[in-house]
């Protein structure tokens, strides 16, 4: 079946997340050491996790829940017992610079985008996170000029699985849910959100660790499973 529009998730769908996150953490740890913090990796991980937990708890339905500067701001306060804006800024900046330096497209992305373009399908990225960071990722991956539309949870004020990110993309592209396919790695946000709206869905996990249908609720089950992103050309184009 061909579609008039394909709505891609970004993180761990168009590129592998884990190596980038690890590179970002290493860079942030180096930055904190340069600011005078005597941290080994275990202590750094505890600091980061504490800041992340607090941010997630207080901002869990918004794009701020992914903000690494918030994680470091909160984590450093818990670690040191006092605010340290300069170190939080340095660690957050270092994290994203390290993260982006490790990014690379999944195999098959460019071929899929070529096929969708040849078929006349619209291509959107619908993603949970802040706009500036996601723009940086698209530019770093070299596909910013291949994407017709970027919709972030920051822009619409709600995170997937809310319908708002999906409906905002469909409205901008002037497409109905029945004309579009959502592609993502997260069954709770990408698939459940798309399925609830009546979009067809495809599951692709960049690290290959996809859950079996038997482990998913009916709302989380994909219409298509992709062993490689290149397989999308057989489904969508």
Active site residues: 9, 11
Find how far residue 118's CA is from the centre of its chain: 26
**Paired tokens of 181:** 């396919």
Exposure class string for 172-196: b at 16+ Cβ within 10 A, else e: ebebebebbbbbbbbbebbbbbbbe
Query: Are 234 and 43 spatial neighbours (Cβ–Cβ below 8 Å)?
Result: no
Query: Are 128 and 64 spatial neighbours (Cβ–Cβ below 8 Å)?
Result: no
Q: Reading across the β-sheet that carries 224-225, which strands appear in turn?
A: 149-152, 122-127, 5-8, 180-184, 200-203, 224-225
Q: What is the DSSP string of 99-156?
A: HHHT--PPTTHHHHHHHHHHHT-EEEEEESS-HHHHHHHHHHHT-GGG-SEEEEHHHH
């Amino acid at each position: 079946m061909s579609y008039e529009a394909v709505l891609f998730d970004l993180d761990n769908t168009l590129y592998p997340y884990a190596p980038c996150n690890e590179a970002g953490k290493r860079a942030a740890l180096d930055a904190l050491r340069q600011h005078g913090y005597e941290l080994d990796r275990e202590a750094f991980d505890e600091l980061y996790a504490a800041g992340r937990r607090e941010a997630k708890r207080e901002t869990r339905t918004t794009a701020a829940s992914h903000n690494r500067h918030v994680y470091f701001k909160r984590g450093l306060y818990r670690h040191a017992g006092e605010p340290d804006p300069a170190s939080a800024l340095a660690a957050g900046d270092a994290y994203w610079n390290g993260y982006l330096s490790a990014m690379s497209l999944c195999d098959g992305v460019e071929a899929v985008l070529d096929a969708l373009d040849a078929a006349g399908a619209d291509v959107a990225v619908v993603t949970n996170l802040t706009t500036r960071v996601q723009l940086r990722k698209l530019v770093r991956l070299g596909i910013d000029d291949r994407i017709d539309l970027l919709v972030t949870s920051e822009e619409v004020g709600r995170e997937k699985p809310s319908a708002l990110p999906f409906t905002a993309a469909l409205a901008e592209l002037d497409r109905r849910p029945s004309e579009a396919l959502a592609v993502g790695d997260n069954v709770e946000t990408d698939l459940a959100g798309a399925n609830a709206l009546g979009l067809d869905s495809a599951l692709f996990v960049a690290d290959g660790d996809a859950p079996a249908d038997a482990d998913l609720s009916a709302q989380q089950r994909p219409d298509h499973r992709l062993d490689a992103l290149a397989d999308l050309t057989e489904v969508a184009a």
